[in-house]
Amino acid sequence: MSEPLLSVRSVKSFYGHIMALRGVDLDVHQGEIVTLIGANGAGKSTLMMTIFGDPRAREGRIAFRGRDITHLPTHEIAQLRIAQSPEGRRIFPRMTVRENLQMGALASNEVHFQDDLERICAYFPLLKQRLDQRGGTLSGGEQQMLAIARALMSRPQLLLLDEPSLGLAPLVVKRIFDVIRALNMDGMTIFLVEQNAFHALRLAHRAYVMVNGTITMSGTGKELLARPEIKAAYLEGGRH
Amino acid sequence: MEYFVQQLINGITLGSIYGLIAIGYTMVFGIIGMVNFAHGDVFMLSAFIALILLLALTQMLGITPLALALFIVLILAMLLTSLWAWAIERLAYRPLRGSFRLAPLISAIGMSIFLSNLVQVTQGPRNKPVPEILNGVFTFGDPEGYTVTLSYKQILIVAVTAVLLAAFWYVVQRTSIGRAQRACEQDRKMAALLGVNVNRTISLTFVMGAALAAVAGLLFMIYYGVVHFNDGFVPGVKAFTAAVLGGIGSLPGAVLGGLLIGLIEVLWSGYFSNDYKDVATFSILVITLVFLPSGLLGRPEVEKV
Ligand SMILES: Nc1ncnc2c1ncn2[C@@H]1O[C@H](COP(=O)(O)OP(=O)(O)O)[C@@H](O)[C@H]1O
Ligand SMILES: [Mg+2]
C-alpha cells in the first residue's frame, strides 16, 4: 500500500498530568473517508487537536505526507494544507460569513478567494445568501456548514471534521453527511470523528474505535457495523 | 455660549489624546484579556522620545520647515516607541502567558515602575520644557466681549488624530492583518488552527497600540509644552477610564470614551473646580465599573462564545 497521507504512531498526549491519548496508531490514505468513533470523553477531539499540535504529542510521531509534523507550531501545521472543522464549530461570531471564509483562505492564496468561494458555495448554497451576515447569527446547521466551508477555503488535501452532526436536527445531519460524501466523491480525503456511529460507519471506507485514549478496534465501515459489540456499545445506545 | 464652545474645543482636543492612548488599552485587553498597566508609561516615554527627536532635528540638524521636522519626529517616535512596546511584550509578558492570571498584570505594574524610573534617572526629575512651536491662534467672536480661540496646536491635534484613527480603522477592518487580530480576539485557538501566527499577532497589537500612544505622546508634549517622568500615570489612568467607559475591547468605544473623558474633565474644571477634575474622571471609572461594566459600546459578557 502507498504511504499514508496522515500517519499517527504511538501518540500520547496529556492535559497536565492526565494522559488523554495512551498510544494511538492510525492511518488515513489519500481518497479515503476514515471515521473515528467512541464514547464521549474517549479522546477523539484530543486526537484531532494533537494532530495540530495543541496539546502537543509528548510521545510518538505524527506525519503528514511523509513529513514529521509532531513538533511544528500549530499555525505552521495549518499551512500544510491540512484543515479542521473543530468540535463546537468555533465560528468567529462577530465576523461576517465572508470574513470567516477569508480567515479560512489564509493558508491558501487569497488570490483564489472568489473562485474558491464559488466552488465551495456550490456545496452550501445557503451560505451564498448569508455572506454579509455575522457568524454568530447563523443557526447551528448553518454554522456547521460555514465551519466546513471555512476549512475547505485553504484548499486542503486532508479535511478533519470533529462531530459535524452534533446537536443538529436529523434533516440537517443528513444534509451534512451528503456533503461529506460529495466532497469525497470529488477527491477530498476526510477524517471524520463522530458519536453518530451509525451514519459515520455507513459513510466511511475504514473506521477506528477509540476507548479511553487507545484504539481498540479497526476495520472497514461495513465490518464494524456488523460487529455485535459495536452494535451494543455505539449503535442501539448511541442512536436514541 | 462662547465660553461653552471654548470648553468644547478644549475638551475635544484633550479627548483626542485620551482616545489615542485608550486604543492601546482596549486592543491589548481585547486580544489577551490583560490590562497593560505599563501603557501609560509607554505613552510618557514616547513624549520624551518625541521631545529628544524634536530638539535633535530642529536645533542640532537644523531641519526646516517645522512641518517637515514634526512629520519626521512623528514617524520616528512611532517606530521607536513601537520597538519598546514590542520588547516589553516579548520580555515581560509573553513568558508569563499561560501562567496564573495575575502574573502578567504584576509584571505590567513592574514595567510601569521601571519605565518611569528609567526616564527619571536618564532625563532628570524636573519638568522638561518643550520649545515654543505652533503658537498661532484663530480668534472668533466679538472682539469687545467673549471670544473663542482655536489654536494651531488644537487643529493639529484633532487633524492628526482623525487621520490616524481612519488609517487604523482601515487596517483593523479591511486588511488581512486586522482580520487576524480580530480572529485572535474572538477565538485564539481557532485562529491558530487556520494558520494565524498568534504570537506575532499579539506582538503586532502591542506595536500598533504603542504607535498610537506615540502619536498621543507627541501631541501631548506640543500641547502642554512640558513633559515630566510622571506624566504616564494620570493621563494613563484617564485613558484607561476612557477605554472602560467606552466598553473595553471596543475600538469605537475607546475613541468615544476618550472624547467624553476629555469633555467631562474640561467642563468640570471650567464650570466647577479645577482642583477636583481628576477626582471627577476617576469617579466615572468607579461608577462605570459598578453600574455599566461592559461600557457604552461594549458587548455584554453573555454574548461571548
Ligand atoms: N482542555 C482540557 N483540559 C483537561 N482535560 C481535558 C480537556 N479537554 C478534554 N479533556 C479530557 O480528556 C479526555 C478526552 O476528551 P475529548 O478528547 O474531548 O473526548 P471526546 O472528543 O472523545 O469526547 C476527557 O476525559 C476529557 O475530560
Ligand atoms: Mg469530542
d(CA B22, CA B19): 5
- CB under 8 A, 24+ apart: contacts of B149-157: B149/B6, B150/B9, B153/B13, B153/B222, B153/B223, B154/B9, B154/B10, B154/B13, B154/B223, B156/B219, B156/B222, B157/B13, B157/B16, B157/B17, B157/B219, B157/B222, B157/B223
| Residues recorded for chain A | 240
Ligand nearest to the CA of A47: 1
How high is the pLDDT of residue A107?
Answer: 83
The arithmetic mean of pLDDT across residues B28-40, rounded, is: 92
How high is the pLDDT of residue A94?
Answer: 94
d(CA A208, CA A191): 11
- Ligand 1, atom 16, residue with closest C-alpha: A43
pLDDT higher than threshold 50 for residue A239: no
At A99, the pLDDT band (50, 70, 90 cuts) reads very high
How high is the pLDDT of residue A1?
Answer: 60
d(CA B2, CA B261): 21
Contact residues, chain B, for A90 at CB < 8 Å: 187, 189-190, 193
How high is the pLDDT of residue B301?
Answer: 55
Contact residues, chain A, for B173 at CB < 8 Å: none
Question: How remote is the CA of residue A47 from the centroid of ligand 1, in Å?
Answer: 10
Q: Which residue has the higher pLDDT, B191 or B291?
A: B191
How high is the pLDDT of residue B304?
Answer: 39
Contact residues, chain B, for A84 at CB < 8 Å: 193
Residue extents of the structural domains in chain B: 10-233
How high is the pLDDT of residue B94?
Answer: 93
Residues lining ligand 1, Cβ inside 6 A: A 15, 20, 38, 40-46
Q: What is the pLDDT of residues A124-145, one digit of tens each?
A: 999 999 999 999 999 999 999 9
Q: What is the pLDDT of residues B250-270, one digit of tens each?
A: 899 999 999 999 999 999 888
pTM: 0.91
Q: Are the beta carbons of B242 and B257 closer than 8 angstroms?
A: yes
Name residue A141's amino acid. Answer: G
Where is A5: in which H helix or E strand?
A: none
* Residue of A13, A15, A40 with the most ligand 1 atoms within 8 Å of its CB, for mutation: A15
At B219, the pLDDT band (50, 70, 90 cuts) reads very high
Q: What is the pLDDT of residues A209-231, one digit of tens each?
A: 999 999 999 999 889 988 888 88
DSSP assignment of B92-154 equals IIGGGTTS-THHHHHHHHHHHHHHHHHHHHHH-SSPEE-------EEEES-SSS--EEEEHHH
d(CA B290, CA A13): 43
d(CA A42, CA A39): 6
Angle ∠(B290,B293,B294) on CA atoms, nearest 5: 165
At B63, the pLDDT band (50, 70, 90 cuts) reads confident
How high is the pLDDT of residue B279?
Answer: 86
Q: Which residue has the higher pLDDT, B129 or B12?
A: B12
How high is the pLDDT of residue B64?
Answer: 79
Q: What is the pLDDT of residues B93-103, one digit of tens each?
A: 999 988 888 89
How high is the pLDDT of residue B305?
Answer: 35
Q: Which residue has the higher pLDDT, B60 or B177?
A: B177
Contact between A154 and B195 using a beta-carbon 8 Å cutoff: yes
| Mean pLDDT of the residues in chain A | 93
Q: What is the pLDDT of residues A160-196, one digit of tens each?
A: 999 999 999 999 999 999 999 999 999 999 999 998 8
Mutation for testing the B interface, residue in A54, A101, A106, A161 having most B CBs under 10 Å: A106
Domains and CATH numbers, chain A: 1-81+157-240 (3.40.50.300), 92-156 (no CATH)
How high is the pLDDT of residue A238?
Answer: 45
- CB under 8 A, 24+ apart: contacts of B165-173: B165/B19, B165/B20, B165/B255, B168/B23, B168/B208, B168/B212, B169/B251, B171/B208, B172/B251
Ligand nearest to the CA of A46: 1
How high is the pLDDT of residue B159?
Answer: 95
How high is the pLDDT of residue B118?
Answer: 94
d(CA B30, CA A121): 32
Q: List the single residue in B with minimal CA-CA distance to A80.
A: B195
pLDDT higher than threshold 90 for residue B161: yes
